[in-house]
């Protein structure tokens, strides 16, 4: 058993377990922490696949930025186990069963796919390096890259719209009332 394989299994188990714990934890703060662990495990996989740039970005963007944002929000709201909503046992069971079945169906469908014998190269290949990716991003993918700026702009505007205090509560109140009817 090669080191790669051992690493693969280790990271896989880690990712799956952490993911499961994200779902299972009662306290959202724990969920965030477990989720960060998932991200790390997946970054490990990226490294294994020689996609260093993505591994780093994954840590920075997800674990670093997004998850921190989550944490802030959770803390802002002061959420903890106690105000975690009650769940319906049967519904949960149905959820687990549905997800499991979906997994089963997909796995069964794909286990004999033509990719069965194909390998994803690990350790080698330099497409994941920042130099190559950067080159591709700013040549072939420059248009989508620019377009994604529109996305950010709109997200930014959105944050403003949603976050800014209503200066004239009267109008808002009125309209709110009117649609309540």
Partner 1 sequence: MNALIISAVWGVVMMFSGILLKQRSGIRNLAVAGLVLLLVSNILEMSGTVFFKVELKGMIVFDRFALFFDSIIFASALIYLFLSARDMEKVGVNYAEYFALIFFILCGITLVASFKSLLILFLGIEIVSIPLYILTGSEKKNLKSNEASLKYLLLGSFSTAIMLMGIAFVYGATGSFMSAEIIASPGTVSALLIAGMTLLLFSMAFKASVVPFHFWAPDVYDGAPTVFASFMATIVKAASFIAFIRLFNDLFGDMKPEWQLWMAVLTAATLFVGNITAVFQQSVKRMLAYSSVAQAGFMMFSLYAMNTDAVEGLLLYVAAYSLATIGIFAVLNKMSDYTFDGFNGFAKSQPVLAASTTICLLSLAGIPLTAGFLSKFYMLRAAIDTHKNLWLVIFAVVMAAVSVYYYFRLIQAMYFREGNAHEIEVTPVFKWTMVVVAALVILLGIFPNLLLYWFYF
Partner 2 sequence: MPVNYYIFLSLALFAIGIVGVLIRRNAITFFMCIEIMLNAVNLLLVAFSKMHHAKQAATLATAGIDGQIFVFFIMVVAAAEVSVGLAIIVMLFRNVHSVNVNFLNRLKH
Partner 3 sequence: MQNALQLVWLIPFFPLIGFLINGLFRKQLSKSLIALTGCGTILVSFILSVWVFLQVKNGNSDVAEYFNFISAGSFKVPFAFQVDALSSLFLLIITGIGFIIHVYSTSYMKDETGEHYGRYFSYLNLFVFSMLLLVMGANYVIMYLGWEGVALCSYLLIGYWFKNTEYSKAANKAFIMNRVGDFAFLLALFWIVSKTGSVSFDVVFSKASALGTSDVTIITLLLFIGATAKSAQIPLYTWLPDAMAGPTPVSALIHAATMVNAGIYMVTRSKALYSLAPLSQDVIAITGLATAILAATIAMKQNDIKKVLAYSTVSQLGYIFLALGVGAYTAGIFHVMTHAFFKALLFLAAGSVIHAMGGEQDIRRMGGMKGKLKITYITFLVGCLAISGIPPFSGFFSKDAILLSAYEHNKILYVVALFGALLTAYYMFRLLFLTFNGSFRGTEEQQHHLHESPAAMTIPLIILAVLSFAGGFAGIPDIFLKGGDAIAEFLSPVLPPEGGKTVSHSTELILMLLTTVLVLAVIVLAWFRFRKYKPEEEKGLGKFLKNKWYVDELYEKIIINPLDRFGAFLSNVFDRSVVDGLVNIVGRLVNYGSRQVRLLQSGQVTSYVLLMVLSMLLIMAVQFFLRK
Region binding partner 3 by CB under 8 A among candidate stretches 12-20, 32-40, 70-78, 87-95 = 87-95
Which residue, chain included where needed, has tokens 């796995």?
107
Residue 22 burial (CB count, 10 A): 18
- Measured CA to CA, the distance from residue 79 to residue 28 in angstroms comes to 7
Query: If contact means CB under 5 to 8 A according to the sort of partner, which of partner 2, partner 1, partner 3, none does residue 181 touch?
Result: partner 1
Contact between residue 54 and residue 125 where contact means Cβ atoms under 8 Å apart: no
Q: Which of 5, 60, 98, 155 binds partner 3 (CB under 8 A)?
A: 98
Residues 144-163 that bind partner 1 (CB under 8 A): 144, 147-148, 150-151, 153-155, 157-158, 160-162
- Using CB under 8 A as the binding rule, whether residue 99 contacts partner 2 is answered as yes
- Measured CA to CA, the distance from residue 108 to residue 23 in angstroms comes to 24
- Using CB under 8 A as the binding rule, whether residue 85 contacts partner 1 is answered as no
Q: What is the DSSP string of 139-157?
A: TTTHHHHHHHHHHHHHHHH
Query: If contact means CB under 5 to 8 A according to the sort of partner, which of partner 3, partner 2, partner 1, none does residue 143 touch?
Result: partner 1
């Amino acid at each position: 058993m090669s080191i790669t394989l051992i690493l693969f299994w280790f990271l896989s188990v880690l990712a799956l377990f952490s993911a499961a714990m994200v779902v299972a934890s009662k306290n959202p703060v724990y969920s965030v922490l477990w989720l960060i662990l998932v991200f790390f495990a997946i970054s490990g996989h990226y490294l294994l696949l020689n996609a260093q740039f993505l591994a780093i970005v994954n840590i920075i963007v997800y674990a670093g930025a997004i998850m921190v944002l989550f944490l802030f929000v959770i803390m802002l709201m002061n959420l903890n186990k106690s105000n975690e909503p009650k769940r319906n046992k049967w519904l949960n069971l149905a959820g687990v069963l549905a997800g499991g079945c979906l997994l089963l169906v997909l796995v069964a469908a794909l286990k004999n796919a033509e990719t069965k014998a194909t390998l994803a190269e690990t350790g080698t290949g330099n497409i994941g390096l920042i130099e190559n990716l950067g080159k591709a991003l700013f040549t072939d993918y420059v248009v989508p890259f620019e377009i994604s700026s529109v996305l950010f702009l709109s997200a930014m505007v959105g944050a403003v719209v949603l976050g800014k205090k209503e200066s004239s509560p009267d109008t808002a109140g009125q309209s709110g009332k009117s649609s309540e009817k």
